Structure 1
Amino acid sequence: MGLFSFLKKQSDKQFLSEDTFENSKAKQMSMAPLTMTELRKIEVKDDDYLKLEFFFYTNTDQKANALANELQKLNYEVGFGPSAADKKLFVITGWTTRMQMGDAVVVAWTKQMCELGNDFDCEFDGWGTTPDQ
């Protein structure tokens, strides 16, 4: 740490520590199969194609914007702005293109989103969907 590091703005600090990332990724990877089990109960099948709604958080609008731009390159609908629950956080949310609802596909996508978020110092906070699209 430099002599004047205390002057660094809070918003410039790293948002996602390695431990937080690993814990969050483990949580998301364990939740994805559970969510898929619930979707099966409401007749979502492996060969159905649905859009997924996704959520990320970070501590600066610059990081949120950078991740949003990367997600747009995947042809996802994306928006970002201050979190309603905590004005010190920014939320990035949107919808994927339609994807196959096979367990392996969705679990792999979940891992990809965790890692992509981490690349931009953002935490992937999960996904959801609705079968009536």
Structure 2
Amino acid sequence: MGILDFFKRKGKSFVSEAAYNTNKVTQVKLTPQTMGQLRKLNVNEERELKLEFFFYTNTHEKAQALTTDLGNLGYQASNSLSASNSKEYVITGWTTKILMTDSSVGEWVNQMCDLGYKHDCEFDGWGTTPEQE
């Protein structure tokens, strides 16, 4: 994070650097557990699945900027005011197909945490369903 990023975030930040670091550690730790559950559902390392993702932030502008970047990755993404908190925006969507290896999904989780933080949004996790075409 550069010096200009520090000043840009001061006062209006949704995700502090400490919260980002803690969340990233948590998300990375949760990934093997989720992958383990998928393995029990016969999702092997040769499978490719789309992943559903979730982010939160505090302004429409931040939500829109992240939605645009996710779209640039080829993902379907949208944002709206949170149903449970009128001061937060939720960004959701689906990736393109990702190879379901532990390393591929782990790298993707790291990328999503970093991309969210770049836009002052918190990556809140992911899910999928094995019943995809």
The TM-score with structure 2 as length reference comes to 0.90
CA separation in 2, counterparts of 1:123 and 1:102? 24
List aligned pairs for 1:18-97, cutoff 5 A.
18-97=17-96
Which amino acid in 2 is paired with 1:80?
N
CA separation in 2, counterparts of 1:29 and 1:84? 27
Quote the sequence identity (%): 51
RMSD, aligned α-carbons: 0.8
Which amino acid in 2 is paired with 1:89?
E
Shift of residue 89 of structure 1?
A: 0.3
For 1:9, the equivalent position in structure 2 comes to none
Shift of residue 130 of structure 1?
A: 0.1
For 2:114, the equivalent position in structure 1 comes to 115
**1:117 counterpart SS class:** helix
Deviations 1:42-101 (A, max 9, x none): 100001000000000000000000000000001100010101110100000000001100
CA separation in 2, counterparts of 1:87 and 1:94? 20
| Unmatched segments (≥5 aa) in structure 1 | 1-11
Which amino acid in 2 is paired with 1:131?
P
Which amino acid in 2 is paired with 1:67?
L
For 2:8, the equivalent position in structure 1 comes to none
| Unmatched segments (≥5 aa) in structure 2 | 1-10
CA separation in 2, counterparts of 1:42 and 1:59? 36
Shift of residue 27 of structure 1?
A: 0.5
Flag as ranges the 4+ runs of structure 1 deviating above 2 A.
none
Which amino acid in 1 is paired with 2:86?
K
Which amino acid in 1 is paired with 2:101?
G
